[in-house]
Amino acid sequence: MAPSFHIPQITLPSRAGDAIAPDQLDLLRQACLDHGFFLLNNEDGHGGFHIAPEQIGRVWSAAADLFDAPLDAKRAVSVASSANNRGYFSSADHAEYNKDPAGVRIKDNKEGFFFGSDNLIAPGNRVPAGKAAAGTEMEGYMEAGRAACVAVMRAIVTAGLLAEAGETCPDAFQSRYLSDPVYMAKCLKYPPSNGNTDAHTDYGCITLLLPGDSGLEVHVGGAWHAVPFAPGAFVINFGDLLSAWSRGAVRSTIHRVIYNSAAGAPRYSLPLFLHPNRGTMVRTPGGAAAGGSVGGFGRPVGDGSGDVVVDTYRWAAAVCVDTYSYVLSRFDATYKHRAAAAGAGNGVGTHAMGDNAGAGAAKVDEGTGAISTTCAEAAKA
């Protein structure tokens, strides 16, 4: 019998320093250990809204406005012609990629716009001619989403899920790794029929998703389960990098989108992805790819059902990963134009781990793998 599947709805404070209710912290901890998905309440009265409903309404309008642009205007700002991977894309711009444990492929079928922070490759987001106001609205939403992601990351540290990496103090963690994070957002549109995204895991730390409808599914216990659609709540899930950083305590789980609208309506979706500051180094758990356990949590890499616990198959041995280079390497594997540029040897898409480590990057203790400060150490700084 397949294990029971439940995605909790959790309330976290939006203000740094506000206490998290113990029962909510327990729900968060269990969700991370089980499958790495939960619904984040966006409500007033607990430190305020993470993102104000009025702003959410405006960004949905902005999304519709972007996609209403003529196809030629959208293609004029294609990611394929962008030096910083910003602008319009369609499924044709993506490399084939499928992690369905059964090997079943579904046709990736969507279009979107890619936005990013100024410290991601180079500044400058791109929108179709005449859509500057919509672009500005998207950038404002991205800033608000960044703050919400930081609140979740602080909660992850508070819950003790990064303790094996030496992270026990949310203030120190935010100061060291999230003072100037790398982040990006996608504005997505799925067609009414066969609006799909192939099975995959996210590759970074945290994803904050504002879905416009149902359709998201997660692979747990050898089966696909629908993620509940709760208007007014965000879907939070975690990526391969955070799973490795946490020694498998936070799960990065395969998911996909299967969408067919009985009403003939397209599906809109706004995922935002948060990564640490440039210069952050993460020590990955070694030996896990050979079937060993991951850290003291003892989470196996595979549980026999095809689930992914921590995506360490890229790192067969314990290594220190420059997180910014890692993010760029995943761009290279995802977008055809970057893969082609890398193959041509022109420097685009060639990002060996460590190439972009900045001055002041965190030191890694080679014995323990700890990469940051404790609260006591932070107080001395």
Q: Say if residue 102 is exposed, middle or buried (CB neighbours under 10 Å; 0-12, 13-18, 19+).
A: exposed
From the list 14, 16, 31, the residue with the least C-alpha distance to 159 is 31
CA distance 160 to 166: 10
Query: Tell me, what's the pLDDT at 244?
Result: 86
Domain membership of residue 97 as a residue range: 9-278
Q: Tell me if 29 is assigned to some domain.
A: yes
Q: Has residue 38 been placed in a domain?
A: yes
How long is the chain? Answer: 381
State residue 341's pLDDT score.
67
% of the chain with per-residue pLDDT over 90: 54
In angstroms, rounded to a whole number, what is the distance separating the alpha carbons of residues 226 and 183?
A: 27
- Return d(Cα 244, Cα 283) in angstroms, integer: 8
> Per-residue pLDDT tens for 254-263?
999 999 998 8
Considering the domain boundaries, does residue 4 fall inside one?
no
Average pLDDT over residues 358-379: 33
| 8 Å CB contact between 36 and 238 | yes
CB 216 within 8 A of CB 184: no
pLDDT in tens, 278-290: 999 887 765 443 3
- Look at residue 357 and tell me if it is in a domain: no
> Residue 155 pLDDT more than 60?
yes
79 part of a folded domain: yes
Q: What's the Cα-to-Cα distance from 367 to each of 55, 144, 172, 283, rounded to whole Å?
A: 47, 38, 21, 11
Q: Write the burial class of residue 101 (CB in 10 Å: 0-12 exposed, 13-18 middle, 19+ buried).
A: middle
Residue 312 lies in a domain: no
Instruction: Fill in the amino acid letter for 321.
Output: V
Interval 74-81 mean pLDDT: 95
Is position 239 within any domain?
A: yes
More confident residue, 198 or 356: 198
β-sheet with 233-238: strand ranges across = 9-10, 37-41, 233-238, 206-211, 267-277, 181-190, 111-116, 87-90
**Count of the separate structural domains present in the chain:** 1
In a domain, 293, yes or no: no
Task: Render pLDDT for 197-211 as a digit per residue (tens, 0 to 9).
Answer: 888 889 899 999 999
pLDDT tens digits, 120-132: 999 999 999 999 9
CATH of the domain at 113: 2.60.120.330
Question: pTM for the complete prediction?
Answer: 0.83
Least confident of 93-97, 157-161, 308-312: 308-312
C-alpha distances (whole Å) from 180 to each of 121, 202, 268, 279 are: 14, 21, 29, 10
Q: Which residue's entry shows tokens 């203000």?
A: 15
Pair of tokens at residue 290: 């050979």
Of the candidate ranges 29-38, 44-53, 289-298, 338-347, the one whose mean pLDDT is the lowest:
289-298
CA dist., res. 244 & res. 265, Å (int)? 38
For residue 277, what is the enclosing H or E element? strand 267-277
